[in-house]
Chain A
Amino acid sequence: MVMTPPAEDSNFDLNVLHNDLDQIQISSANQHRKPIVDPSLSRIYRYTPIPTIILDASWCIVEVSDSHLAFSGRSRDSLLSTCICDVAPGAIPAPDIATLYGALRAALTTKETQVIENIHGTDTHHQLRVLPIFEGSELIYVILEAQNISKGIPLRATENQHAYINEIYKILVDTVKDYAIFMLDTSGNILTWNSGAAILKGYTAAEIIGRHFSIFYSQEDRRCSKPDRGLMVCLRDGKMEDEGWRYRQDGSRFWANVMITPVFEFGRHVGFVKVTRDLTERKAAEARMIAAFEESSKMKTDFLANMSHEIRTPMNGMLLALTMLAGTELNEEQHEYAAIMQDSSSILLQVINDVLDYSKLSSGSFSINADILDVASVVDAVARNCRSGLSPSVALSSSVSPGFPILQGDPLRFRQVLQNLVGNSVKFTEKGYIKISATFTVDEEDPRVYNLVTEVTDSGIGVPDSAINTLFTPFMRFADSKNRRYQGTGLGLSICKSLAELMNGSVGFRSNAEGHGSTFWFTTKMKSIDMTAPGKMSSLSSSPKAEDISDALRKIAPRKHILLVEDNLVNHMVMLKLLKSMGFERIDAAWNGAEAVRLINQTPLSFDAVLMDISMPVMDGLEATCQIREFNTDVPIIALTGNALKGDAETYLAKGMNDFIGKPVHRNDLVRILLKWVGT
């Protein structure tokens, strides 16, 4: 096939347009024009998928590929034998004729391929490759190939954008001086270093890049390979945050908050970004705040405790004087005033006692004694005690599950909680009923442990919904404090809560299921005692197990400190001998109540039990007990009494004694009672 028809030659007019074209080349091209030897090879350019135009040495079009026709929308006939300079630039494609000629000239001069970049069509981008074909030094053809690069252009733009943003981030990161921000490679070696890192850690970029980041950790951390574990956690969880001591180049340490985030590129893990903050100051500030808080809390508690104690002492004097005053001949008006003073001062005393308990509880200095707890007798005692304040139209009843075990617990604390709950019910119930119920279940995990539930249900005023959440919060009171009937500190229930928690239990409230009133419950967890302990406080008689009990007491007796208060020489001697024969080695003696008060006041925590005669000169046992209870609520006081009359027991218990034993004291009774109160 003839590529360049001879007829075309007359159209060649290149010299007219471009005088700088090499005439020799043109003429020689014309001279050496020959037919294509292998026609099959010409098909290459006919059918190449790249839009292609072939020019001869005179720049006339000698071939056009089908793909170019498709691209340009022209016919082959309209293009063949046409000088390239007569073809519209858009159809070549070229930005303009001048650029095309520039490229052609460069190609001919350099004999190398020239590329015209960024040829913008309506919606396409092309580049034009200009390939000069020389045979020796003779130009024979020029091939123009149009490469569609439309798909590549947006990509390139994104890359540019990326580069731009990267640059911004680099500047940002470098500008941050308070945070160390740097990158690690996949194995933890440092790749980048910002100025914050340099300031914080003391290394320059040159010193640190390429080192492993574990250099910032303590030896201990490195030994347990904390740095590598951190990276593993980070890869697993997608990020890792940690706080701890890190070390600077100069060896000083700082408290760091560290965030490590893995970095992925095309789904491949390429490294980590690590951000480190210096929290040393903040941590120190926090520590200072905590210390300050603890200090102030302790001061508050100490202050409360001291004040309560200081206030209580004169209060007792006032109460005593008031009682005596009320006993003198007063007219009706004076009587009334005295009664008001007595009322107010006893409320005040209660308030002070509450505050003292509360401050002890909140300072953690409150302890629970492991003692023998007979729930039935405590419930009885509380019910008896509360009956006096009861409105006449309120029925107070109590029920204790049959077969209640004798437990190891603190009877005083248990009683305090119950007394408080029942006392509240008494205060807030004008008519109807108050019921105390105590039930128990065996613990599922340990058959020796019992779960006790004690409930106090009343038909009183109940608790408004708005107050339920703050019932057990200290100093929160929902009742109208202007009403004299409802006076108090608002500490009672919070004391109950703390006490119950000390006894491994809790307290709670629910509305009375029968509609009107409240149910307060408290739970405790206690071990049972493997002993046929007395169920009643009085009338103890000898039992077959007397020997065992005696042995049990003998084991603990040498460690226990007993105070004997007895004025009668004979009785005193006998009791001393009796106690010694039971194994007690530390027995202090007082000959009247005042001496006993002084001894206990001197060493309040020393005595494990007090055996107290009732009738004594100077100060009797009841008054002594009252005074002892003002500063020591814990020590068990056991009355030694010849007046084994009914009703006396109640009086003794009401005055703060824990138990009593009738005279003459029988050895087995004394052993039982002492074991009950000092046996742990």
Chain B
Amino acid sequence: MAPTTPKKTKEEPASKGSLNFSLISDVIDQTTFEQILEMDDEDDRDFSHGIVFGFFDQAETTFENMETALESKNLGELSSLGHFLKGSSATLGLSKVKDACEKIQHYGAGKDESGTSDEPDEEVSLKNIKTTLEDVKRDYKEVEGYLRKFFGDSPAPSE
């Protein structure tokens, strides 16, 4: 199942899988994610599993919504969706996804990627979002893979 997974750096009780946070530190924030794991009862991962898979649903729905908004050039909606997914990805410590969502939030608000200066051209903003959306989907697939492995689930069905 995970033949290449190196030795765990941290002891996780009753874990079905494990994650080498040092290798994926830019993908998942260890502290935040472990906090979620700590909320589990001692003998199962029901809570964290529920949360993470809830996030998967949420993310996929959000990406669909983003595509729709992109087609209708609704920047406000895009910013709001970016903010929304940023919140939950931050809560789980999915840093890469969170960063990308924040960019979409800023672009949607007519700003540059860091939200510091204005971007008056809507077309530029839409183009930036289109690019970032592709990035964030890829980043999401990556972390989804890690997490599904960690929870001992089968890889996501290919679309």
Contacts and interface: CB of A to CB of B under 8 A. Distances in A.
Interface in A216-234: none
A568 B84 contact: yes
B93 A664 contact: yes
Interface stretch (B9-17, B28-36, B127-135): B28-36
B103 interface: no
B145 interface: no
Interface in B100-123: 102, 115
Nearest to A640: B87
Contact of A570 (B31, B32, B35, B91): B91
Interface string B33-53: 001101100000001001100
A642 B88 contact: no
B30 to A, nearest CB: 12
A569 interface: yes
A330 interface: no
A615 interface: yes
B35 A667 contact: yes
B62 to A, nearest CB: 10
B80 A574 contact: no
A573 B39 CA distance: 11
B149 interface: no
A570 B61 CA distance: 13
Contacts of A645: 115
Contacts of A567: 84
B39 A581 contact: yes
A573 B90 contact: no
Contact of B92 (A570, A577, A578, A642): A570
Contacts of A664: 29, 32, 90-93
A570 B80 contact: no
A665 interface: yes
Contacts of A76: none
A27 interface: no
A667 B35 CA distance: 7
A666 B80 contact: no
Contacts of A666: 31-32, 35
Contacts of B36: 574
B112 to A, nearest CB: 14
A663 interface: yes
Interface string A555-581: 000000000000111110110011001
A573 B86 contact: no
A574 B87 CA distance: 11
Given A569-B58, A570-B58, A615-B83, A577 B90 contact: no
B55 interface: yes
A666 B90 CA distance: 11
Contacts of B39: 574, 577-578, 581
Among A567, A613, A642, max chain B CB count under 10 A is at A642
Interface in A633-680: 642, 645, 663-667
B3 interface: no
Nearest to A567: B84
B31 A571 contact: no
A582 B155 CA distance: 34
A573 B35 CA distance: 13
Contacts of B6: none
A570 B29 contact: no
Contact of B90 (A569, A578, A615, A663): A663
Contacts of A568: 58, 84, 87-88, 91
Contacts of B87: 568, 570-571, 613, 615, 642, 663
B51 A642 contact: no
A577 B93 contact: no
B157 interface: no
Contact of A571 (B50, B88, B93): B88
Contact of A615 (B35, B51, B80): B80
Instruction: List the 7 closest A-B pairs by CB distance, nearest first.
Output: A570-B88, A664-B90, A577-B39, A664-B32, A568-B87, A571-B91, A663-B90
Given A578-B39, A645-B115, A664-B93, 11 more contacts: A570-B55, A571-B91, A573-B51, A577-B51, A578-B35, A613-B87, A615-B83, A615-B87, A663-B90, A664-B92, A666-B31
Interface of A: 567-571, 573-574, 577-578, 581, 613, 615, 642, 645, 663-667
Interface of B: 29, 31-32, 35-36, 38-39, 47, 50-51, 54-55, 58, 80, 83-84, 86-88, 90-93, 102, 115
14 contacts: A568-B58, A568-B91, A569-B54, A570-B88, A571-B87, A571-B88, A573-B50, A573-B51, A574-B51, A577-B51, A578-B39, A581-B38, A664-B29, A665-B91
